[in-house]
Amino acid sequence: MAGKRCIILPLRSKRGRWAALGALLLAICALIWLFRPRQTTPPPPSEALTAAAKELTDYDVTLKLIPERRQVSITERVAFINDTGDTLTSLLLRTWLNAFQSEEDSPAATEELYDACYPQGFSEGKLTLHDVAWNGTQTAWRYDDDAQTALRVDIPPLAAGQTGELLLRCVVQIPLCAHRSGGLGDTYQLGNVIPQLSLYQDHAWRADPYTSVGDPFVSSCANYTFSVYLPEGYVPACSAPLTRGQDGAWRGSILAARDVALCLSPDYCQASARAAGGAAVYAYAKTEAGARRVAEDAKRAIDVFSGLFGPYPYPALTVCAVDFPFGGMEYSGLVMIGQSNFLDSQQDTMELTVAHETAHQWFYSLVGSDQVYAPWQDEALCQYAMLRYVRARYGQGSFDTLKYYQVDSPMAENIPGSLTPGSPIDYFGDLTAYSSVVYGRGAALLLALDEMLPGGADAFLRAYAEAFAYRFATRQDFEAFLNNYAGMDCSPLLLDYLDTAH
């Protein structure tokens, strides 16, 4: 009996120790799960977004990064719906990256930008086509311009309302260039890299050149689905929120997007936040502190603008640090922010840049406009929105100070020539004049409307955003809507602020 007790008691004690150890491990696992970094999940698309996505052209895009060659292979299937009202015999796609093939055509190779964009000397970017097919049959194609940014694809006659599938396979060479399309080192910004249908307007496809000043991109909304294959360690930031599947591919989709972009880097740290209406904010930067800061800035901007101009259009917004000398660049669901904004000395500039670029989700993405012939229609509205953000967050005194520098001073400048906020982008020879005239003087129009309209400019812009949601608004549309909203002819006011050199 004693011997049995000597044997039995230690066995019970050992089992107890294992049970206690198991309970401790379970408790540790529970704590790790409870306090783990959590990926903020985007909400389902809104009813308005879902409704807008119906009967839009669908893009199914597969990308694979080949970093040792600085290349990305792209397979793109476009389920095209002919909503032009005309019978079509060709499609026109914008292959903007080809503008980076030569120093003569590159928008980054101007005297003003060259050193900042090409710190290691000129680097070629281009798109090489391998397959072009319509409804499963190879078809003829050609470029309409010397820079090879306007790709025309022949198709059998396609009546209004009919559909067909376009298949493209290509490889793109990403230049060592600090621009929308490019990147330095291992960071890649793929803005305006994916071939995209141009805007069909007045019975023809738009084929605007890639200017060095402004954003010469005009397009209709479409739905995009992504599959992204990356080497281990690379982190993707995309217009569509991406999740990684068991096969290693990153997948996601975005509805009714005006344009899309991706940024890829092995150095990205991620932070997330939850904004007004449940929108998820994803931020990517080279440091955790930078990612957290920009996530909070973007969240606050969405909170303010959702209250002023209506709900944020998409389930998520991605904000990412990139290599370029500009403040920022907008795409549907994604904002690029220049690395210099992440310096500790640039915190105020960072916040203002994020606010301006976030406002473009309403005025560019939600409400499309002609960024070539009427750049004020998104830039001036977003500059005004940035001022309103400052007043909401910091009060009237900060608003007045920023207004002095951003609007009053440009209004007092002696601008050479006859440049006005209503000028098309090819009138501007440098970014300084473009910023002063289109952003600064253009915002003065909105401040004038703020004093004149019942409910101010905020109520007007909210109504404007709702009326033209996921559509394209011309200057004539803006003016007609304003006249109806104000109950008076506002044409003289627009003529004074947009078309008169001061």
Within 13 Å of residue 331, how many CA atoms lie on the same side as its CB?
Answer: 27
The residue from 200, 220, 240 where one domain ends is 220
Distance CA 151, CA 141 (A): 7
Average pLDDT over residues 102-113: 96
Place of tokens 């298949």: 167
Question: Going by C-beta distance under 8 Å and a sequence separation of 6 or more, which residues neighbour residue 6?
Answer: none
Question: Going by C-beta distance under 8 Å and a sequence separation of 6 or more, which residues neighbour residue 71?
Answer: 65, 171, 172, 173, 174
pLDDT at position 90:
98
370 in a domain, yes or no? no
Kind and range of the H or E run holding 156: strand 150-158
- Indicate the pLDDT class of residue 346, thresholds 50, 70 and 90: confident
Q: Whole-angstrom distance between the N-terminal and C-terminal Cα of the chain?
A: 109
pLDDT at position 501:
82
397 in a domain, yes or no? yes
pLDDT at position 345:
78
Residues in the chain, overall count: 502
Domain that holds residue 85: 57-220
The tokens describing 25, both together, are 């491990």
Distance CA 243, CA 246 (A): 10
pLDDT at position 416:
77
Average pLDDT over residues 412-438: 93
147 in a domain, yes or no? yes
Are the CB atoms for 271 and 306 separated by under 8 Å? no
347 in a domain, yes or no? no
The residue from 220, 243, 258 where one domain ends is 220
pLDDT at position 1:
39
The pLDDT tens digits for 260-308 are 999 999 999 999 999 999 999 999 999 999 999 999 999 999 999 999 9
Say what the pTM is: 0.91
- Three-state secondary structure of 91-113: EEEECHHHHHHCCCCCCCCCCCC
- For every residue of 191-255, DSSP letters joined together read ES-S-EE--EETTEE------SSS-------EEEEEEEE--TT-EEEESS--EE-TTS-EEEEEE
> Does the pLDDT at position 389 exceed 50?
yes
Within 13 Å of residue 95, how many CA atoms lie on the same side as its CB?
Answer: 30
348 in a domain, yes or no? no
CATH number, domain with residue 95: 2.60.40
Distance CA 27, CA 257 (A): 45
The tokens describing 329, both together, are 């660049």
Q: For residue 439, give the nearest of 421, 419, 426 by alpha carbon.
A: 421
DSSP 367: E
421 in a domain, yes or no? yes
The H-assigned helical ranges of 281-363 are 288-309, 347-359
The residue from 220, 244, 273 where one domain ends is 220
Distance CA 350, CA 356 (A): 10
In the chain, how many domains are there? 2
279 in a domain, yes or no? no
CATH number, domain with residue 433: 1.10.390.10
The pLDDT tens digits for 136-148 are 999 999 999 999 9
357 in a domain, yes or no? no
- Cα 258 off chain centre by: 9
% of the chain surpassing 70 pLDDT: 92
